[in-house]
Amino acid sequence: MPLARFFGCLVRSNLELWPDHSAPAAVESTSEPAIEILTMTDPDPPPIALDPMPRVRFRPDVATIDWDGIGRCRVVDGARVEGWRTAGGDGGRWASLLRAIALPVALAQRGRILLHGSSIRIRGATVSILGASRMGKSTVAAALAQRGHTLISDGLTVLERLPGDRTPVKGFLAWPGPASYRLWPDAIEHFGGEPARYPAAVSGLDKRAVPALGIATGPSRLERVYVLAHGDTERVESLSTVAATIALTQHAFLADYVTAEARDRLLGDAAEVGGLLSVARLERRQRLEHLAGLLDCVEVDVSAPSTGRDQRLG
C-alpha cells in the first residue's frame, strides 16, 4: 500500500484517497506509518446516524464519523482509521470523508490544532488566512503564491504546539499540506487557467484541485492569523483576544462537524492560539477585480512589526 506524507504524518491507505494533482507526495520509507487507513470489507458497520452531513463524535481515544448514505469511520488513537462504506454510496464522497475529515480527526487526536483556512509564508512570516466557505481563502493563497510567496497548505491549517520554557506553549508550527489548491472555476479563470483541465476536488462541488507549483518543505512558526470578512474596502483590523478566540472557534476546521460535547475543546484550542498570536479581521470586497488590493493590504500588514499577544499580556 502506498505511503504519503500528510501535514507531517506518514499515512498509509488501502484506498486511493486523492484526486489527480492533489495527492501529497508519495514517499518511500522503512518506518511505520503514523496513521493507517483501512477500508473494511466486513459488512458489519455500527448503525449510521441520519445526518445530512458528516457528524463527528470526537474523543481523544476513539472518534466516530457518520455520513448518512456515504459511510462510517472509527478513528482510534490518532493512528488508525477504520472505514465502512455504505453500499451504493458515492465513492468520491467516501474518499472525501476519509481524507478531509477522518485524517484531520486523527491529527486532532494526536494533539494538533486544526483551522479552516490556508497558510502561506510571506517574506519570512507564516500567516493563516481563515474564512467561511466561499470567502476566498484558497483564491487569496493562490494569488499570494503567484506573487512569489510560499504556500504551506490550502483549506486546512494544521498546527503543532511548541512547548515553552516557562509556559506550556510558546507558539505553533504550521505543517505543510498537499501541494494543491481547491479553487472555484471563476478563480481558475482569473489566474488564466481552464477549469475543465482540473479534476473535481470534492465530489458534488464544482471546486477543482489545482496543483501548486511550489510548497514549503517543512513546518514554520505561525505568526499571524487573518479572518476574511465582507467589507466595503480592503483593510486589516486587529481583534481583541476575546474576539480572536471567538473567531478562531468559529473557524476551527471541525467546527461544522463535531457534536456539542467536543466544542469545549475547540474553544480551548482557540483560546490558546488567540492568546498568543496576532489575529486580525481581513475585510475584502468579494469581486476578483479587488484581489490585488487585498494582497497589497496583507503584504503591508505582514511587514509591520507583530504585536503578539505574549508581549501584550506579559
Partner 1 sequence: MSVRFRIPPHVASEMLGEETVLLDTTSGDFFALNVTGTRAWQLLRDGADLPTIAARLRLEFEVPEAEVTADLDALFAELGRRGLLEREE
Using CB under 8 A as the binding criterion, the count of chain residues that bind partner 1 stands at 18
CB of 264 to partner 1, least distance (A): 3
Residue closer to partner 1 (CB basis): 247 or 298 = 247
Residue closer to partner 1 (CB basis): 170 or 263 = 263
Residue closer to partner 1 (CB basis): 242 or 292 = 242
Residues 272-311 that bind partner 1 (CB under 8 A): 274-275
Residues 111-130 that bind partner 1 (CB under 8 A): none
Is 264 among the residues that bind partner 1 (CB under 8 A)? yes
Is 263 among the residues that bind partner 1 (CB under 8 A)? yes
3-state secondary structure the chain: CCEEEECCEEEEECCCCCCCCCCCCECCCCCCCCEEEEECCCCCCCCCCCCCCCEEECCCCEEEEEECCCEEEEEECCCEEEEEECCCCCHHHHHHHHHHHHHHHHHHHCCCEEECEEEEEECCEEEEEECCCCCCHHHHHHHHHHCCCEEEECCCEEEEEECCCCCCCCEEEECCCCCEEEECHHHHHHCCCCHHHCCECCCCCCCEEEECCCCCCCCEEEEEEEEEEECCCCEEEECCHHHHHHHHHHCECCCCCECHHHHHHHHHHHHHHHHHCEEEEEEECCCHHHHHHHHHHHHHHHHCCCCCHHHHCC
Binding mask 216-255 for partner 1 (x = CB under 8 A): -------------------------xx--xx--xx----x
Is 25 among the residues that bind partner 1 (CB under 8 A)? no
User: What are the residues binding partner 1 (CB under 8 A)?
Assistant: 241-242, 245-246, 249-250, 255, 260-261, 263-264, 267-268, 270-271, 274-275, 313
